[in-house]
Chains A and B, each alone.
Chain A
Amino acid sequence: MTNNTSKKIRVLIADDEFDFASTLQTRLNLRDFEATMVSSGEEAVQAVEQQKPDVLLLDLKMPDLDGLEVLSRLKEMGAETKVIILTGHGSFEVGREGMEMGAFDYIMKPVDLNELIVKIEDAHGSR
């Protein structure tokens, strides 16, 4: 269970569902990613600024700042972190809206981990 790159890809998970984020973090770390997590939009902005992760997995619906607001703040900051949106919406529209705002990609919940890993590696490779 390893990713193919020699240096670990640093992934930040921003989701207010603690049990979801912590389990996903564990599963990504088992696959040799370096995953960390935060539980709100405001924390996500701060963590991107301080940790400069390679990829941010960003839930759209969170207390305080929602995902689209986080995207907008990251754009203002000129952050180089690639963003993959996690969405619980039934339609693709919000994910597409996020991509128009600069997100690299989106994935719908519940997440297919293999699909997510491909997207993370693609996002990292595009940096």
Chain B
Amino acid sequence: MDIQKSPRGVEAVCLEVYGMLSASVTHEIKNTLSIINENAGLIQDLCAMVEGDDGVPAGRVDASMQMIANQVNRSNVIMKNLNRFSHSNDRIPDQADLSETVTLLVALTSRFAAMRKVSVATDCESGHVITTNVLTLYCLVFLILKTLYSLCLEDTTLLVSGKQAAGLLELRFVPEKTNSQTYPPDFPGEKEKMLAEHIGATCSCEDGEVVVILKERG
């Protein structure tokens, strides 16, 4: 398959993923801005309370300033991750580190996981680099993670592992416990399979675990 050109269907799925991702990220940023806004307001309140008095309560001001700094840092990480995702289509093909890919997509989908009260653990061997259409790879991992979060029971863990096996790279997504009633029998579905095929990979479900087999040059 020619990985220079993305078929219309793949482009449409990537656009859909980008839409879901940007909706989630902008919510996160609004949350961080809200906390910054409230703490800036609280500092003003404290200053107003002690006007003409001995001074502002240093401990409370310090706590507010720390919250502001934490939220600026949180926003920066969110934006850095989105920026990396957005630049993944700059060069086709490009190189993607398997472990870094998992770390990035787990971070970008953390809000979806939090909404479902699902924890994510990762166990990826480092140093495995794939040359592929990176955006398609990212979108594939995004869709798998998002689907599995919705299937995992609350307060359980999803394990994502990555390793080299028989000259290929294997990504394995292992939910601790899923709600079997909602597990779609056709998952991975058409979208996941189309994205996998586009990068010369396979995506399948084995006993409740989702397995993606990637070639180092896909």
Residue of A23, A63, A64, A109 ringed by the most chain B CB atoms within 10 A: A23
| CB neighbors of B among A1-30 (8 A) | 1, 16-17, 19-20, 23-24, 26-27, 30
Binds A, one of B29-37, B84-92, B140-148: B29-37
Contact (Cβ within 8 A) A17 B34: yes
Residue in A20, A88, A89 whose beta carbon sits within 8 Å of that of B38 in the complex: A20
Please, which residue of chain A has its CB at the minimum distance from the CB of B30? A88
A20 to B27, CA, bound (A): 14
With A19-B35, A111-B37 known to touch, is A27 a contact of B114 (CB < 8 Å)? Answer: no
Q: Tell me the smallest distance from the CB of B28 to a CB of chain A, in Å.
A: 9
Say if the beta carbon of A78 comes within 8 Å of chain B: no
Which bracket fits the contact residues of A?
20 to 34
Q: Tell me the smallest distance from the CB of A122 to a CB of chain B, in Å.
A: 21
Q: Tell me the smallest distance from the CB of B47 to a CB of chain A, in Å.
A: 12
With A23-B42, A23-B67, A64-B154 known to touch, is A111 a contact of B48 (CB < 8 Å)? Answer: no
A10 to B48, CA, bound (A): 24
Contact (Cβ within 8 A) A1 B37: no
Residues in B whose Cβ lies below 8 Å from that of A90 = 26
| CB neighbors of B among A23-48 (8 A) | 23-24, 26-27, 30
Contact (Cβ within 8 A) A23 B31: no
Q: How many residues in B have their beta carbons less than 8 Å from beta carbons of A?
A: 25
Contact (Cβ within 8 A) B115 A61: yes
Say if the beta carbon of B191 comes within 8 Å of chain A: no
Contact (Cβ within 8 A) B30 A109: yes
Residue of B35, B71, B116 ringed by the most chain A CB atoms within 10 A: B35
Contact (Cβ within 8 A) B48 A88: no
Say if the beta carbon of B62 comes within 8 Å of chain A: no
Residue in A19, A30, A63 whose beta carbon sits within 8 Å of that of B115 in the complex: A63
- Mind listing 10 A-B residue pairs with CB under 8 Å? A1-B45, A17-B31, A19-B67, A30-B49, A61-B115, A109-B33, A109-B34, A111-B37, A111-B38, A113-B38
4 more contacts with CB within 8 A, not counting A17-B34, A27-B38, are A1-B48, A20-B34, A23-B67, A30-B45
Interface residues of A (CB under 8 A from B): 1, 16-17, 19-20, 23-24, 26-27, 30, 61-64, 88-90, 109-111, 113
Pairs A-B, 4 closest by C-beta atoms: A110-B37, A23-B38, A88-B30, A110-B34
Interface residues of B (CB under 8 A from A): 26-27, 30-31, 33-39, 41-42, 45, 48-49, 64, 67, 70-71, 114-117, 154
